[in-house]
Amino acid sequence: MNMVDLIKKKRSGHELAKAEIECIISGYTAGSIPDYQMAALMMAVYFTGMSKRETADFTMAMARSGKIADLSAINGVKVDKHSTGGVADTTTLVLAPLVAACGAPVAKMAGRGLGHTGGTIDKLEAIPGMRTSLSMDEFIRNVNSIGLAIISQTDDLAPADKKLYALRDVTATVDIMPLIASSIMSKKLAAGADAIVLDVKVGQGAFMKDYKSALELADIMVNIGQSAGKKTVAAITDMDQPLGLAIGNSLEVIEACETLKGRGHRDLLDVCMFLSSYMLMLAGIASTREEAVAELEHALESGSGFAKLKQMVKAQGGNVDALDDYSLLPQAEIQYEIKAENNAYISSLNAENLGLCAMKLGAGRMTKDDSIDLSAGIMLNKKMGDFARKGETIAVVHANDRQKLSQVLPDILSSIQMAEKPVVRPKLIHALVSKDGVESF
């Protein structure tokens, strides 16, 4: 197929055929299609869009550009969860053990973070000795024996997406909705799950800033999943303020443990319960959300969810004692307390700014080659709507570099707004998108 003709076809607003898309992706991955032609095609897509069918075909072609994980040796329905990214979003470390404790196998491939804070793998590696690079045989064996394993994504997982995203990043073609959805879903489909629960964040701390855009992305991704034969639903959840209290890798491990011990913040737990309930339903463990929540609450209250986390950490070489004795986790040398100047309510916690401040302290990466300070971050004591008395600690900044702390502190302070009168707490869960449509909450 002639690439010039395909660029002209897309530029004119016509749909590309499945065979044409497969040829483009295989040729670009192999290097026979140069960057300049692929960049021209991406710009044509930017201006003319892609149909749902094209997007689904494009996604599957990217998923098949590398190895698709074969999880057939794992017993039961394998359900994956993916978040589009947020601040203090520690959901995986809470919901994966709870779901596994309820009988649904969780075989998850996760990534490292780029931006606000580390990804799930970075957080897990804050646990001393924790191995996240396992062979596929060991990965499958662990899931079959304890019901849970979380490992780092392999280099051969959707290589076309890695190459294409790098190109889009330098050609101003990142913010194309079909390609955003395709990038996310190609990795999820390649990871081999039978069903997928998506958590699409919306708000100032999310990639999708408004509800309309979040709904559009959720709808496209659900359609991709369904087209690939995967049961797929997408929740749209709030990210106008940090979800949990902890922003930073070691701090988020502590918050996950506290949540599984029944002492976590209700916002984080509520979102975890919502997402987990659909994971159990897609896995066939529960037939209704109420039934699923009852199972999850039992796993939480009985301690079986926390016990499942311990089993996974032990199986992957981590120091289980660190899940109870937090002094064994990476600790920052400096813990700077931010106190309320007057009696007031927390009126705003700018999630994006707080996430960027944590990154500047070392909790996240500005480039993929940056190293992470696993102990750095921000621990909130209050959230929007909470009342703080004069002199009460609102947040604690964890740092190892006094110069970075002094540079970042003014931005942290400006991200925390106070008011004399009570404020309305933001809604946590906005909607659920499925093949049957949109259900608002």
E-strand spans in 203-253? 231-238, 246-247
What is the spatial distance between Cα 158 and Cα 65, in angstroms, rounded to a whole number?
Answer: 6
CA distance 350 to 422: 17
Residues tagged active-site: 82, 161, 168, 183, 187
Q: Strands 344-349, 416-419: parallel, antiparallel or unpaired by DSSP?
A: antiparallel
Beta pairing, strands 148-152 & 106-110 = parallel
Give the span between the Cα atoms of 251 and 399, in whole angstroms.
12
Structural tokens at position 441: 């909450």
Name the token pair of 399.
């740092």
Contact, 398 vs 248, CB < 8 A? yes
233-244 core/surface letters (b: 16 or more CB in 10 A; e: else): bbbbbbbbbbbb
Residue 285 is given by DSSP the state S
Cα torsion 211, 214, 216, 218: sign = negative
Contact 385, 331 (CB under 8 A): no
Is residue 76 within 8 Å of 105, Cβ to Cβ?
Answer: yes
Alpha carbon 431 to its chain's center:
18
How buried is 440 (Cβ within 10 angstroms: 0-12 exposed, 13-18 middle, 19+ buried)?
exposed
**What end-to-end distance do the CA atoms of the chain give, in Å?**
48
Tell how strand 377-380 and strand 416-419 pair up: unpaired
Q: Report the C-alpha gap between 278 and 196 in whole angstroms.
A: 9
| 231-238 and 429-434 beta bridge pairing | antiparallel
- DSSP designation for 322: G
Please answer whether residues 416 and 406 qualify as being in contact, where contact means their C-beta atoms are separated by less than 8 angstroms. Answer: no
Two tokens, residue 129: 């000795």
Please state, in angstroms and as integers, the Cα–Cα distance from residue 213 to each residue in 177, 180, 350, following that order. 8, 11, 20
Alpha helical stretches, state H, 170-210: 177-190
